[in-house]
């Protein structure tokens, strides 16, 4: 498929707008609230940081500040869901689902309630806040929880669509958001549906499978590789669970090798999910780009991405390595 099919911004020839995914969530939540009066919002003392203040200002009677009490956030949210509400719960990912995982599991997960957990400031883009706040384990933690849908938007525009889709989902959902402004490369016309992955860049030699903030660098890596004579396919995976195995395996049967890219722990993250899918269905060489069994640290996002091997250059290098491993290198 050509890029035109997905109505992406012409990211090769244009300077892109920068906007945090958390901002897209805030705008999407307000729209979800306008469309459905059962949508309510709860926050653990981080209303502006998580961009929930937009909803609060529009619907003050449907907003609940629970204070710095993340376990309470989860259980009150589950109680509201039992009364027919659609509760969105926001905090930093380090604290929700980090601190309140058991409460989410026992109330929202076990009872299959439409509770929406929104973990902002996830990953290395949290920057100067350092290791305590740079949540890298959240994808793994939420992916393992039965009934939980795990979502990770590529940019702010997709985050808005994702939030609206979450308000219509009958399942418990986890939404992973970042602090820093990142490139907006999708448009209002770019499709999004929970459970679907999208071939944003077609190719036939290697498949790069990316999620969240790492999809744009993966598209840039594909351009770099093209100059080296390598035709890489890039699949954007906004829904990590349920994983769109059909789209991924269809690509791998063509390319016969894969690279996964995420701003999170590869163990249990997207890399783990794809490795499981591949091992059980169609074993091919695979390289996983992401954080390797390590904690974050304080620094500027670009410094951290360089240190942990998550730049365009690193994605391209991993692609060369997997091509070599598969015996396909030029």
Query: Which among 142, 144, 90, 141 is positioned nearest to 119, based on CA atoms?
Result: 90
* Helices 270-281 and 245-255, axial angle in degrees (round to 10): 70
Note whether 3-14+191-325 and 20-183 share their fold. yes
Other Cβ atoms within 10 Å of 7 Cβ, number: 12
For 159-214, the pLDDT digits (tens) are: 999 999 999 999 999 999 999 999 999 999 999 999 999 999 999 999 999 999 99
* Average pLDDT value for residue range 219-229: 97
- Which residues pair with residue 89 across a beta bridge? 42, 117
How is 31-65 classified by DSSP, letter by letter?
A: HHHHH-TTEEEEESS-TTTTTTHHHHHH-GGGEEE
Could you say which architecture CATH assigns to the domain 20-183? Answer: 3-Layer(aba) Sandwich (3.40)
Q: Residue 322 above 60 pLDDT?
A: yes
Rounded alpha-carbon distances, angstroms, from residue 109 to 7, 16, 143? 35, 38, 11
Cβ–Cβ contacts within 10 Å for residue 300, how many?
11
Domain boundaries of the chain, sorted by first residue: 3-14+191-325, 20-183
What are the backbone dihedrals phi and psi of residue 200, each rounded to the nearest 5 degrees, phi first? -80, -30
pTM comes to 0.97
Q: Is residue 205 within 8 Å of 226, Cβ to Cβ?
A: no
Q: Which fold has domain 3-14+191-325?
A: Rossmann fold (3.40.50)
Nearest of 116, 152, 114, 148 to residue 136 by alpha carbon: 152
């Amino acid at each position: 498929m050509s890029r035109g099919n997905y109505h992406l911004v012409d990211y090769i020839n244009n300077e892109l707008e920068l906007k945090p995914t958390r901002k897209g969530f805030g705008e999407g939540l307000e729209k979800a609230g306008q469309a459905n009066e059962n949508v309510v919002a709860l926050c653990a003392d981080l209303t502006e940081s998580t961009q929930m203040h937009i909803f609060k200002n529009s619907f003050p009677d449907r907003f609940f500040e629970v204070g710095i009490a993340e376990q309470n956030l989860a259980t009150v949210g589950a109680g509201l869901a039992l009364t027919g509400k659609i509760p969105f719960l926001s905090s930093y990912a380090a604290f929700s689902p980090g601190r309140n995982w058991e409460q989410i599991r026992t109330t929202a997960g076990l009872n299959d309630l439409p509770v929406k957990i929104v973990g902002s400031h996830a990953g290395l883009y949290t920057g100067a806040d350092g290791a305590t706040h740079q949540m890298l384990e959240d994808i793994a933690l939420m992916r393992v929880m039965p009934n939980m849908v795990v979502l990770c938007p590529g940019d702010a525009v997709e985050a808005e669509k994702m939030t609206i889709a979450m308000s219509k989902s009958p399942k418990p959902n986890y939404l992973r958001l970042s602090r820093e402004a990142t490139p907006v490369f999708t448009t209002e016309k770019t499709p999004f549906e929970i459970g679907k992955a999208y071939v944003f860049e077609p190719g036939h030699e290697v498949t790069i499978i990316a999620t969240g903030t790492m999809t744009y660098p993966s598209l840039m890596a594909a351009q770099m590789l093209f100059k080296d004579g390598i035709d890489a396919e890039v699949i954007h995976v906004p829904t990590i669970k349920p994983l769109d195995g059909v789209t991924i395996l269809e690509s791998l049967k063509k390319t016969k090798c894969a690279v996964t890219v995420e701003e999170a722990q590869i163990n249990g993250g997207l890399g783990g999910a794809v490795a499981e899918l591949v091992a059980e269905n169609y074993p091919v060489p695979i390289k996983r780009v992401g954080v390797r069994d390590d904690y974050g640290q304080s620094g500027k996002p670009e410094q951290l991405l360089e240190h942990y091997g998550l730049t365009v250059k690193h994605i391209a290098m991993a692609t060369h390595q997997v091509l070599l491993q598969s015996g396909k290198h030029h």
